[in-house]
């Protein structure tokens, strides 16, 4: 294995590999230490004498004195430490993805919070600029009002010339101030547009699943109540299709997580291809997906689930590196339509119950629950 490959492995996998190597090496070093012979046969043979210390009496007879405490302590201690290290590595490996997902979510949340704070500060600065603009306009109006009061009493050309010069100077000052304020307003406007774009991008990333690029659970929690409220208000149908890839754990265990992720991506593409309009495909978590189908009644949602199920079952899956066949991949589907005065949680629970029923019925099928508005 090259140095680059080692660097790409997570620390938990390295710990697990090192633990296995250590367990296998323990007996080897223990046998070398305890035996005077160095032939391979003596290392691979297990004998009761290995665990004993003995003395020879004056007549040359061997006296067994019992188990060697140092040998037992070394062997049992080493194996125990290696097993604990392997268990620790396995725990890190299994929980690492969840930790990384939380870290990604925290990073996105921090980014959104930071951009939002910067946007608030820029808007506040813009408000101050506009206030200064109004103050300058007010001072200009006051200057003009003073000139207007003095005009009736002006009689000499010198006085008229002084007033005109005063107006010119005041106009020049105001013009310079207005130009400066306009430049600051334009700059603030550009900054606000950039911050709004950054905030929009951060929110978009926070609503997308990293593997499939579908909407994620955060999007569903934020938007499903809105869809339910709209459907109830306008008395329009709304259906949910909950899908689960069958035996997905076996796929991961047999072919690895890279193949599992690729299957999830292809299944996501299949879902996206079969929806239209305001329909939305969501990765709910793990191998579970949800289709949010506004303006769709139960029969249409059931037919859509059956169409996707049949298309998935008909696909030929092969390992992208070895070319070996993976076998048939199937999915189970639960369908529910929104009922009058029903909340989003109840709708999700009914769709999930039908999905469980589809699994209990042997998987690779679609089960629907009635309901109408």
In angstroms, the CA 290 to CA 296 distance is 14
| Catalytic status, residue 287 | yes
Phi, psi dihedrals of residue 278, rounded to the nearest 5°: -85, 0
| Angle at which helices 157-206 and 69-150 cross, to 10° | 160
Instruction: Give the position of tokens 């007549």.
Output: 59
The answer to whether 352 touches 285, Cβ cutoff 8 Å, is no
Whether 240 and 291 have beta carbons less than 8 Å apart is answered as yes
> Cβ contacts of residue 112 below 8 Å, gap of 6+?
199, 202, 203, 206
**Cα 79 to Cα 69: distance, rounded to the nearest angstrom:** 15
Active-site pick, 287, 313, 349, 357: 287
Tell me the C-alpha distance between 39 and 45, whole Å: 11
E-only strand ranges, the chain: 52-56, 62-67, 238-245, 280-285, 288-294, 317-318, 325-327, 331-337, 366-369
Q: Which residues are catalytic?
A: 287
């Amino acid at each position: 294995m090259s140095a680059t490959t080692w660097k790409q492995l997570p620390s938990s996998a390295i710990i697990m590999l090192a633990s296995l190597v250590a367990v296998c090496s323990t007996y080897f070093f223990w046998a070398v230490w305890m035996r005077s012979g160095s032939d391979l046969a003596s290392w691979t043979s297990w004998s009761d004498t290995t665990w004993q210390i003995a003395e020879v009496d004056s007549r040359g007879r061997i006296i067994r004195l019992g188990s060697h405490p140092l040998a037992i302590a070394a062997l049992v201690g080493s194996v125990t430490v290696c097993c604990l290290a392997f268990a620790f590595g396995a725990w890190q490996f299994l929980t690492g993805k969840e930790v990384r997902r939380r870290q990604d979510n925290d990073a996105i949340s921090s980014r959104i919070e930071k951009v939002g704070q910067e946007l608030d500060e820029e808007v506040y600065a813009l408000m101050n600029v506009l206030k200064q603009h109004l103050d300058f306009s007010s001072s200009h109006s006051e200057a003009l009002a003073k000139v207007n009061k003095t005009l009736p009493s002006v009689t000499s050309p010198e006085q008229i010339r002084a007033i005109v010069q005063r107006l010119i100077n005041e106009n020049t000052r105001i013009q310079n101030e207005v130009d400066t304020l306009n430049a600051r307003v334009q700059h603030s406007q550009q900054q606000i547009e950039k911050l709004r774009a950054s905030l929009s991008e951060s929110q978009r990333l926070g609503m997308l699943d990293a593997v499939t690029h579908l909407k994620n659970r955060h999007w569903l929690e934020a938007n499903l109540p809105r869809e339910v409220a709209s459907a109830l208000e306008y008395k329009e149908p709304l259906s949910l299709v909950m899908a689960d890839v069958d035996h997905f754990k076996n796929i991961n265990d047999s072919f690895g997580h890279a193949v599992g992720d690729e299957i999830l991506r292809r299944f996501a593409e299949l879902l996206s291809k079969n929806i239209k309009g305001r329909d939305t495909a969501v990765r709910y978590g793990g191998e579970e997906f949800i289709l949010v189908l506004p303006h769709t009644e139960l029969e249409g949602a059931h037919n859509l689930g059956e169409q996707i199920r049949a298309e998935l079952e008909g696909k030929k899956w092969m390992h992208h590196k070895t070319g070996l066949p993976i076998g048939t991949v199937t999915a189970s589907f639960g369908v529910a339509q929104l009922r009058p005065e029903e909340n989003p949680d109840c709708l999700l629970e009914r769709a999930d119950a039908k999905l469980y029923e589809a699994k209990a019925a042997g998987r690779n099928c679609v089960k629907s629950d009635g309901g109408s508005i």
